[in-house]
């Protein structure tokens, strides 16, 4: 494994390219905006102490930020953190923050897992990972961001009734997500029946990525979990359902 594929302590890189070509001017504009609109680790470490009654939502790998920007505009009383590493997307998010004067949206522009590690325990209401890079080849699946490490990081920082929302248009990845959450064992699945996995979460805003998937005939999986023990009955039913889906896939 080459060195640049390792983020830290053996954690694999979960993203592809970091940028498309940018001029010096574009890079310098981006640096200026990131200085203004990003959150640093020191601030992340005291979120709960600084704003104990505020609702916080983090999106891991938000791309152009369409979902989180929409939510931030509609809920000025809540605080949002958009995590992304792809520079051209970061420039788009920062421009939107500036244009709409969004005081409640901050950017984290390094690997999202570094932010999650540094946030205080029990302080975040919702963590979303929407349409993560699918890494479809068998040898690349170990790069998928939804894994035990991410579930541990998320579990630690969400509030006792906090939510983890996962979405994908790739059936193999949806099954992978469900299997990993079941194996983790500490999240409660909010869907009582598997058909709820095709229902958009509250406050949903479709993104160009999701629209493209639909154009190609791929529907989405919306998987919502809360902190708390899995109900045994659900575990049994969903495991059986999972086995059936795996056979159909």
Catalytic residues, which ones? 133
CA distances from 182 to 185, 202, 209 (A): 5, 23, 27
Asked if residues 109 and 90 have their Cβ atoms less than 8 Å apart, the reply is yes
Report the site for ligand SAM in 180-209 (rule: CB under 6 A): 207, 209
User: Which residues are paired to 59 by β-bridges?
Assistant: 82, 128
- Chosen residue from 57, 83, 102, 116 binding ligand SAM by CB under 6 A: 83
- The 10 Å Cβ neighbour count of residue 230 is 18
Residue 144 tokens read as: 């998928």
CB-wise, 53 or 202, nearer to ligand SAM? 202
Tell me how far apart the terminal alpha carbons of the chain are, to the nearest angstrom: 30
Residue 142 tokens read as: 């170990």
Measuring CA to CA, which residue among 87, 66, 83 is closest to residue 20?
87
Stretch that binds ligand SAM, among 36-44, 105-113, 154-162, 179-187 (CB under 6 A): 105-113
Stretch that binds ligand SAM, among 56-64, 119-127, 154-162, 221-229 (CB under 6 A): 56-64
How far is it, in rounded angstroms, from Cα 169 to Cα 173? 8
Report the site for ligand SAM in 127-156 (rule: CB under 6 A): 130-133, 145
Residue least distant from ligand SAM (Cβ): 61
Site string for ligand SAM, 107-126 (x = CB under 6 A): ----xxx-------------
The least CB distance from residue 81 to ligand SAM, in Å, is: 11
The least CB distance from residue 240 to ligand SAM, in Å, is: 30
162 lies in the site for ligand SAM, by CB under 6 A: no
CA distances from 106 to 49, 103, 117 (A): 17, 8, 17
CB-wise, 155 or 234, nearer to ligand SAM? 155
Structure-token match 């639909």, residue found: 214
Residue 240 tokens read as: 């059986």
Positions in the binding site for ligand SAM (CB under 6 A): 14-15, 60-63, 83-86, 89, 111-113, 130-133, 145, 207, 209
């Amino acid at each position: 494994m080459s060195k640049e594929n390792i983020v830290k302590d053996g954690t694999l890189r979960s993203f592809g390219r970091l940028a498309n070509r940018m001029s010096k001017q574009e890079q310098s504009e981006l640096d200026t905006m990131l200085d203004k609109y990003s959150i640093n680790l020191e601030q992340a470490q005291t979120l709960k102490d600084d704003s104990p009654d505020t609702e916080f939502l983090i999106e891991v790998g938000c791309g152009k930020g369409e979902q989180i920007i929409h939510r931030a505009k509609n809920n000025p009383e809540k605080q949002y953190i958009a995590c992304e590493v792809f520079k051209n997307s970061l420039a788009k998010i920062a421009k939107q923050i500036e244009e709409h004067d969004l005081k409640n949206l901050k950017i984290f522009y390094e690997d999202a897992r570094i932010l999650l590690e540094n946030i205080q325990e029990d302080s975040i209401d919702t963590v979303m990972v929407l349409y993560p890079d699918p890494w479809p080849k068998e040898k690349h699946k170990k790069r998928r961001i939804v894994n035990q490490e991410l579930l541990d990081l998320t579990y630690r920082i969400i509030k006792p009734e906090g939510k983890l929302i996962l979405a994908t248009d790739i059936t193999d990845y949806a099954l992978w997500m469900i299997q990993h959450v079941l194996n983790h064992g500490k999240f409660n699945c909010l869907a009582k029946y598997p058909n709820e996995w095709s229902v958009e979460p509250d406050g949903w805003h479709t993104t160009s990525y999701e629209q493209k998937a639909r154009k190609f005939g791929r529907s989405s999986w919306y998987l919502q979990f809360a902190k708390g023990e899995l109900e045994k009955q659900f575990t049994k039913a969903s495991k059986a359902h999972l086995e059936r889906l795996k056979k159909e896939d």
